[in-house]
Structure 1
Amino acid sequence: MEPIRIFYFSDVLCIWAYIAQIRLNELKTTFQDQIEIEHHFVSVYGTAREKLENRWQDRGGWTGYSNHILDVVKKFDHITVHPDIWTKVTPPSSTSCHLFLHAIQLLETKGLVDRSEQIFEKAIWAFREAFFTELANVSDRQVQFEIAEKLGLSVAAIQAQIDSGEAYAQLSKDFDLVKEHTVTVSPTLIFNEGRQRLNGNVGYRVIEANIRELLHNPPEEQSWC
C-alpha cells in the first residue's frame, strides 16, 4: 500500500505551527513509512507588519499581540517563547524565509546534502526556534545565512538555488496549491487528495484518527459511513 500523502501548509512565523511541530514528530514516529508529509508554505505573515498593525491597532497594538501569543503559550509546556516576542523584533515578511527554506529543500531533493539528515525539516524548525526563542529577524537574509551555517549548510549552494530561479518556482507552486485547496490557516493538513482537511490547532488524537481511518478505508474502498 502506498503511503498516505499529507500536504502540510504552515507559516514559519505562526505560533500554532510552532506548537504543532511536536504532533508532526509524533506522527512520523507512530506511522513511519505509512505516511508521507509534504511541506508547503502559506503566507499568513506575508505582510506581517501591515497585517498586525491593522488587526491589533484597537487591541493594544504590538504589545497586545505579544501578550496574546504569551497567553497562548502558557497552555503548552513543550515550547519556549521570548517574553518580548513581536515587540522588540518584528520581521516584515515570512515569504523571505519560505523562499530560503525552499532553496534548502532543493539541496535535499538534488542529493547535494544527505537526505537521511532531513535537513529541510530541521531548517524549518531552526527558523521557528530562532524567531520565537531568540527574537532573530528571520526575514533578513544575513540571519538566514547564519542559521544555515549553524546547520552546516553551504551558503553559496543555497544562494545558487535562489539565483537560478528554482527556489522561486517551488514557492510559486505553494501559492498555486494554497489557491487550489483554499488554504487560509496555518497549520493546515490536507489528506485524501483534498477530500479531508484539518485546520489550525488540532489535537494529535484527531489527526491520528484521520490517518487511521484512511489506513483502514483506503480511497478505493471508501466506507459508506
Structure 2
Amino acid sequence: MDRVKITYFTDALCVWAYVSQVRMDELKANFEDAAELDSRYFHVFGDVANKIETAWRERGGLAAYRSHVREIVERFGHVEFHENTWNIDVPKSSMPAHLFLCAIRCAESSGRFAPDAGNRAAWAVREAFFRHGRNVSRAKVLLEIAESIGLPVADIEDAIGTGAAHAALGGDLEIARAQSITASPTLLFNEGRQRLTGNVGYRIIEANIRELLERAPGQLSWC
C-alpha cells in the first residue's frame, strides 16, 4: 500500500478531539507522504441541552460535566481550559461549527483557500471554545475566527448560502451513519475495516499505519 487513507471523525465540542489534536499533528509530520488524513464531522453535541440532560442529569448536570472536562484538560500539559467554557454562554449545538468547517473545506477543495485551511480552522474553533471560552455555535464568533486566521469570510458565506456546505456536512453524516460512528474522535483505516476510537495513544495510531504500509500486497491485516 503506497498511501494510507485515514478518515478522522470528530465533534468540534469534544474534549478528546481537542486534546488529541497534537497526535494528529505528529501523525502528519511523521507520515507526510505516506498517510492522508480526511477530516469529517458528526454530532455528539448536536443538541447540547439534551445531551447534558440525558447523560449527566443524575451526576450533577452541566456543572459536573464542566468539572469532568476541566479535569481531562488539566491532565495534559499542552492545552488550556477557560473559566467560561461549559459555564457561560454555552453553545446550543456543534452543528454551526461543523457547517462552518465544511464551508471552508468546500472553498479549499475548489482552490479558493490554501491547502490545510480546513485543519487550521478546526483547531482555531477548538481553541476558541476550550482555551478562550467563546460560544462557537454563534455565526458571528465563527466568522471572527475565520478572519483571525486570514480566511475570507465572503467565500465561507457563499459556500453556506449556496448549500454547498450543507451538502458536504450531509455527506459526512451519511458516512458516519454507514460506518456506525458513535464516538469522537474516531479514526477509520483500511476502507473502514479498522478503527480506533476515543483517547488512543499516538503509538497505537502509528502501529496501525505502519502495519498497513508494510504488509505484503494482498495480505490480510492483523490489526
Pairwise same-fold verdict (TM > 0.5): yes
Q: Counterpart amino acid of 2:97?
A: C
Partner of 1:30: 30
Shift of 1:37: 0.3
Shift of 1:64: 0.5
Shift of 1:59: 1.3
Residue identity over aligned pairs, in percent, reads 46
Q: Distance in 2 between matches of 1:218 and 1:135?
A: 48
Q: Counterpart amino acid of 2:43?
A: S
Shift of 1:224: 6.9
Matched, 1:82 2:100: no
Comparing 76-85 and 104-113, the one that deviates more: 76-85
Q: Counterpart amino acid of 2:152?
A: S
Q: Helix, strand or coil: the match of 1:220?
A: coil
Q: Counterpart amino acid of 2:130?
A: F
Q: Distance in 2 between matches of 1:142 and 1:224?
A: 48
Residue in structure 2 matching 1:147, options 145, 148, 170:
145
Comparing 47-56 and 96-105, the one that deviates more: 47-56
When residues 51 and 156 of structure 1 are mapped into structure 2, their CA distance, relative to the original with a 3 A threshold, is: same
Q: Counterpart amino acid of 2:96?
A: S
Aligned residues: 223
Shift of 1:142: 0.6
Alignment of 1:35-46 (within 5 A): 35-46=35-46
Query: Which 5+ residue runs of structure 1 have no aligned equivalent?
Result: none
Shift of 1:178: 0.5
Q: Helix, strand or coil: the match of 2:182?
A: coil
Partner of 2:202: 204
The TM-score with structure 2 as length reference comes to 0.96
Q: Is the 8 A contact 1:190 1:198 kept in 2?
A: yes
Partner of 1:169: 167
Q: Distance in 2 between matches of 1:179 and 1:224?
A: 26
Residue in structure 2 matching 1:160, options 150, 158, 174:
158
Alignment of 1:104-143 (within 5 A): 104-115=104-115, 118-143=116-141
Partner of 1:215: 213
Partner of 1:4: 4
Comparing 138-147 and 67-76, the one that deviates more: 67-76
Q: Counterpart amino acid of 2:188?
A: I
Matched, 1:63 2:63: yes
Matched, 1:100 2:100: yes
Q: Distance in 2 between matches of 1:218 and 1:48?
A: 46
Q: Is the 8 A contact 1:70 1:81 kept in 2?
A: yes
Q: Counterpart amino acid of 2:12?
A: V
* CA deviation map 1:17-72 (0-9, x unaligned): 00100000001111111000000012000011221122212211111111111111
* CA deviation map 1:153-194 (0-9, x unaligned): 211111111111111110010111011110000000000001
The TM-score with structure 1 as length reference comes to 0.95
Q: Distance in 1 between matches of 2:197 and 2:56?
A: 23
Q: Is the 8 A contact 1:49 1:91 kept in 2?
A: no
Matched, 1:191 2:189: yes
Q: Distance in 2 between matches of 1:24 and 1:81?
A: 20
Comparing 71-80 and 136-145, the one that deviates more: 71-80
Q: Is the 8 A contact 1:43 1:94 kept in 2?
A: yes
Q: Helix, strand or coil: the match of 1:38?
A: strand
Q: Distance in 2 between matches of 1:220 and 1:139?
A: 46
